Structure 1
Amino acid sequence: MKYLVIKCGGSVLENLPRSFYEDIVQMQQAGEWTPVLVHGGGPLINQLLKSLNIETKFINGLRVTNHDVLDIVEMVLSGMVNKQVVRNIAEVQGSAFGISGVDGNLLKAVPTSDAQTLGFVGEVVEVNQTVIEGIVKQGYIPVISPIGIDSTGQRYNINGDIAASAIAKSLGANLCFISDIPGILVEKNGVKTKVDKVSKAIIEEMIENQTIYGGMIPKVKAAIDGLVHNIREVAIINGFEKSSLLDYVNGKQIGTKIVLEEEIA
């Protein structure tokens, strides 16, 4: 069984076409690949925080999370967004099972090294993959919200890209980040062009010169970390492009493939 962990950010999720979910269901039914969906929900979290007059800010693409922010993050991610994704899959005749990283201690977490600055933002130290495997054996597509938990029951806000990478590592899966752009873009002579393949060293250089910035930073860092730790392959693809997921699993050149130096041609 080959797993494909599919990460969808909140800004992308709001507008993904019906065909995207049809592709996921078709992939599962074909049987060669087993999809696992991990989602964010940033825009909806921002909207609710603003309506409640709760201040929020980001540092290097990560949301600073105090108790009040954490409550809203969990409510939006594990409630509203998670169940919307499950419904979207049901609408195209698929069967999904929505869970949080808290359920079954799926995402065991500890505070990040920047906890004094970021608050209740965590990093995943262990994934209880038997929870995912159990859902899959029952014939469901797992849909996971990135909230973690530690041994004391403390919750943590986990960046969705980092959570997806940790899950892919535990399953030995391929990892796809779904975007609204065709991949990593670089500007040459005033024209933006897609990079088909990029290495760890080039990624680090792009972060340094700010070609890659903001929310893309944790995405590519999670990709590189995953490649070092058992993930077969990482790609960034456009979820709005028809059949992009199916094209990816069928081996077509699509999106940006992120690789280690020794693999780059």
Structure 2
Amino acid sequence: MTTQRFVMKCGGSTLAALPDSFFAELRELQNSGISPVIVHGGGPAISETLDKLGIETEFVQGLRKTNDQVLDVVEMVLAGRINKEIVRKMETNGAKTIGLSGVDGMLIKARPVANASEIGFVGDVTTVNATIVEGIMNMGYIPVIAPIGIDESGQRYNINADTAAGAVASQLGVSRMIVVTDVPGIMKTVDGQKITLPSVTVAEIEEMIVTGEIYGGMIPKVRAAIACLQGNVQEVVIVSGAQEGVLTEAVKAGGVGTVIKQ
């Protein structure tokens, strides 16, 4: 990982619940010459808005089935409400921030996923325009990116936030990215005590899911982290955003959370 930049992925609901100290830490990192890039999700907020509008939604293999109507809501919630909530919170804590979606400047180019006939306008990332991200960082701002993709014809796509974050990190040449959650890492019971595993491989995670050591809501969290392992990204570290100083430790020294490797 370069010492000058890092990519952080966080769910929209997780970010909204983080304390002001987390955003102040982002500001301090920025002031120290380290450039964060944030890619966020917002699944629960999308589901909530669809429910309010009376629009049915369903999931196919963990991805939201996305027709034109759903896509409008996805873009409205991610690029509008969630993105600007994050920007506001960061700005009020002194961090210079610019929010954008993958549609802006064709930042995230996408193509339909393989099962598009079944799932609709869900996309895979083809390229990320790193020049835009680097330009924003060079101006002294933190990019906050909503994972909406676009193709040459102007068709928008709903992109999984973890996939988008991994693609952004890879294009920026970042080898280790940070996934901020509401847990301190992957936990394991040893001699009757729960400990945070310092590192784990993808194969070990799959084994722990089979044995039931990783269960319930932790399964989608670790699968999301695994989805970030692509291209130049060789390690993903899961950390709790509520832990004081966690970003600084993860970026500068390591030793926090759980590092996932291939």
- CA distance, structure 2, for counterparts of residue 97 and residue 159 of structure 1: 21
Please report how far the alpha carbon of residue 49 of structure 1 lies from its aligned counterpart in structure 2 after TM superposition: 0.5
Q: Under a length normalisation based on structure 1, what TM-score does the superposition of the two structures give?
A: 0.90
The residue aligned with 1:263 is none
The residue aligned with 1:74 is 75
Greater than 6 Å deviation, 4+ residue runs? none
Q: Under a length normalisation based on structure 2, what TM-score does the superposition of the two structures give?
A: 0.91
The residue aligned with 1:110 is 111
- CA distance, structure 1, for counterparts of residue 125 and residue 208 of structure 2: 26
Stretch of structure 1 that moved more, 74-83 or 109-118: 109-118
The residue aligned with 1:146 is 147
- CA distance, structure 1, for counterparts of residue 100 and residue 125 of structure 2: 16
Provide Cα deviations, 1:204-246, integer angstroms capped at 9, x if missing partner: 33455563665325413313x32xx212531010001111111
Quick one: which amino acid aligns to residue 70 of structure 2?
V
Contiguous gaps of at least 5 residues in structure 2: none
- CA distance, structure 2, for counterparts of residue 79 and residue 221 of structure 1: 27
Please report how far the alpha carbon of residue 152 of structure 1 lies from its aligned counterpart in structure 2 after TM superposition: 1.1
Please report how far the alpha carbon of residue 57 of structure 1 lies from its aligned counterpart in structure 2 after TM superposition: 2.2
> 1:139-218, aligned counterparts within 5 Å?
139-173=140-174, 174-187=176-189, 192-208=194-210, 211=214, 215-216=220-221, 218=223
The residue aligned with 1:91 is 92
The residue aligned with 1:120 is 121
Q: Are 2:232 and 1:221 aligned?
A: no
The residue aligned with 2:135 is 134
Cα distance, 1:119–1:245 mapped onto 2, change above 3 Å: same
Cα distance, 1:26–1:123 mapped onto 2, change above 3 Å: same
The residue aligned with 1:241 is 243
Quick one: which amino acid aligns to residue 77 of structure 2?
V
Please report how far the alpha carbon of residue 21 of structure 1 lies from its aligned counterpart in structure 2 after TM superposition: 0.7
Quick one: which amino acid aligns to residue 109 of structure 1?
A
Identical aligned residues as a percent:
46
SS in 1 for 2:100: strand
> Aligned residue pairs: how many?
256
- CA distance, structure 2, for counterparts of residue 132 and residue 218 of structure 1: 26
Q: Residue 16 of structure 1 is aligned with which of 15, 18, 22?
A: 18
